[in-house]
Structures are given as structure tokens and as C-alpha cells.
Structure 1
Amino acid sequence: MSLPKSIFLAIALLFSTAALAQSFEVAFGSLQQDTDQPVEVNADSLSVNQADGTATFSGNVLISQGGMRMSAPEVQVFYNEESSGISRLVATGGVLLVKDQDAAESREADYSVEGGTVVMVGDVLLTQGNNTLHSQKMTVNLETGTAQMEGRVKTILRTGDN
């Protein structure tokens, strides 16, 4: 075996070992997200609960904030009583999160606007170009542009030839 092939094999084994670990950190989106930007929500219907101060958007929900997009069948919005702004968004029923060239899918997502994090749970699939990562939970830090994958992480890293 030639030296370049040996080095490639060693690197591939190193990546596959790291991917099987219980936790794995990756970059998410090439730019950091400004969580102070306005949040735009589009949906087929809206239901407001005056008692607890929440709103539920249903049907083809699309949320955008700067360069980030999130879509789901239903999203519940929680407001901060002190600032009258949105404190968090909880999306359910199959969620798609897109930021730049990265896309992530999961069953549910909890976006803390105030904390600048998105926690996606349930069969999380992250696609970055030709590479994919799968886990049970992913926490995206929008301020740093990184994501932490947890729960039996599996990755497929494609080489330039594939």
C-alpha cells in the first residue's frame, strides 16, 4: 500500500471512530446567526391563548430570521412577558432547519431566541454538502455557529472521488 493511501486510511479510521462516539461537535452554517434580528412567521392558521400568552401557528409553518429558515407542521410561540418579544419557538411534527449550505431534519425542535440555541431531537439528520451525520439530539449554538451531536452519532464522510 502506498504512503498516501496509508495516510488516507488512517485519517478515515480516525473520523469513523470519532463518529461512533456518544458526542460529536460540528460547524453549522458558515455564518453566525444574529438572534436580535426580527423573527418572521408564516402559516395557514394562528390560534392565540390569552390565558398563558402563547400562540400556535399551524399548517405549512415557515419561520425565518436573517439567513436561517425553519419549517414544520406546527409551531408554538412563547413570549417574554417583560420585553413583549419572542422567548422561544417549539416546532413539532417533522422539522427542517436550514442555514447557509447546511440542513438538519428532526421530529421536534426548540429554538430559544433569548439563549441563541436550537435543540433538535428525534432522528436528527444533518446534511453538509455530500456529508451526513445522524444522531438523536443536536444542539446548535447560533452565536458560535457550532452544533453538538449526541446519542449514537453516525456519519458518512465522502471523499472527493465519491
Structure 2
Amino acid sequence: MAQAQGMQVAFGGAPQDSGLPVEVTSQNLDVNQTDGTAVFTGDVLVGQGEMRLAAPRVLVVYLEDRSGIARLEASGGVTLVSGEDAAEARDADYNVQTGLIEMSGDVLLVQGPSALTADTMTVDTVAGTARMNGRVKTVLQPEKQP
């Protein structure tokens, strides 16, 4: 087993355009006009391009001028899928402007037959990379000899 404090990996099939529209579906929606937020609950699914994020609860924080979304805060058990890669964590915070997704709490990243775990993972959707930190663990498979 390999253990490290930080590790950079590829994530997603191709770089994501953070300027693409964000589609959200859920069972319930509560909007707060005063603070410029919306809370989606119940089987929440967020889609943007090839990326999909699922969680029981997603808080949407709008830009100050309400012209777009500043960030999404997903909680209660989050699944993020992009291309062939999938990640799970307790919580995720997606900064739509920068394209960065911070996942925390028992992070599990699955890439084909490989799996990695860590305390946190930062996904750069624009670059198509992820950085795992805090008790990073994976099992490295030796190359099979003929």
C-alpha cells in the first residue's frame, strides 16, 4: 500500500468549461431573496457539461448582482462524476467562477480499477486534475508479467 500526504491525479475525461450552464433538479426548493441563496433538497442532481454532482442537499449562492451562480455547497453525502472518474465525500464546495471543487470528509476517488482515499480532494475542472491531501492511500498493482 502507498500512503502519502498529497497526490496529484488526472480527473475527468477532458477539461470542463466552468462557463457552461448549471442545471439543478431536486424534490424541493427554498429561495431566500434576502441573502441571495437557494436550497435544493431531496435527490439533488447538478449537471454542467459532462460533470454530474448528486447530494441530498445543495445550497446555491448567487453573485451579489444576482447575474449568476457564485458557488454550490453540497452536503449529506456527495457523489461527483466526470468522464470515467467518480468521487464520493461527505461535503463538496464548488466555486463556479474558478472551476474548483473542494471535497471533504472520507473522500474516495475511483478511476477504472484504481481507488484512492484521502481526507480532502480539490478538483480543478478547468485543468482536468485533482489534488488529494491528508492520509492519502491507494493500492498500487504491479505490472503483470507474461
Which category of TM-score, normalised to the shorter sequence, fits these structures?
over 0.9
Percent of matched pairs sharing the same residue:
54
Q: More displaced, 75-84 or 99-108?
A: 75-84
Aligned to 1:23: 6
Q: Does 1:141 align with 2:124?
A: yes
Q: Higher relative contact order at CA 8 Å, sep ≥6: structure 1 or structure 2?
A: 2
Distance 2:20 2:95 in 1: 14
Distance 1:55 1:73 in 2: 14
Aligned to 1:80: 63
Total equivalences in the alignment: 144
Q: Which one has a larger percent helix, Structure 1 or Structure 2?
A: 1
The one-letter code of the counterpart of 1:57 is F
Residue in structure 1 matching 2:32, options 46, 49, 67? 49
RMSD: 1.3
Aligned to 1:66: 49
CA contact (8 A) 1:130 1:158 kept: no
Q: Which one has a larger percent strand, Structure 1 or Structure 2?
A: 2
Q: Structure 1: 5+ residue runs without aligned partners?
A: 1-15
Q: Does 1:152 align with 2:132?
A: no
Q: Deviations over 1:108-147 (max 9, x none)?
A: 0000000110000000000000000000000001111010
1:83 Cα deviation after fit? 5.6
| TM-score, with length taken from structure 1 | 0.85
1:152 Cα deviation after fit? 0.7
1:159 Cα deviation after fit? 4.9
The one-letter code of the counterpart of 2:87 is A
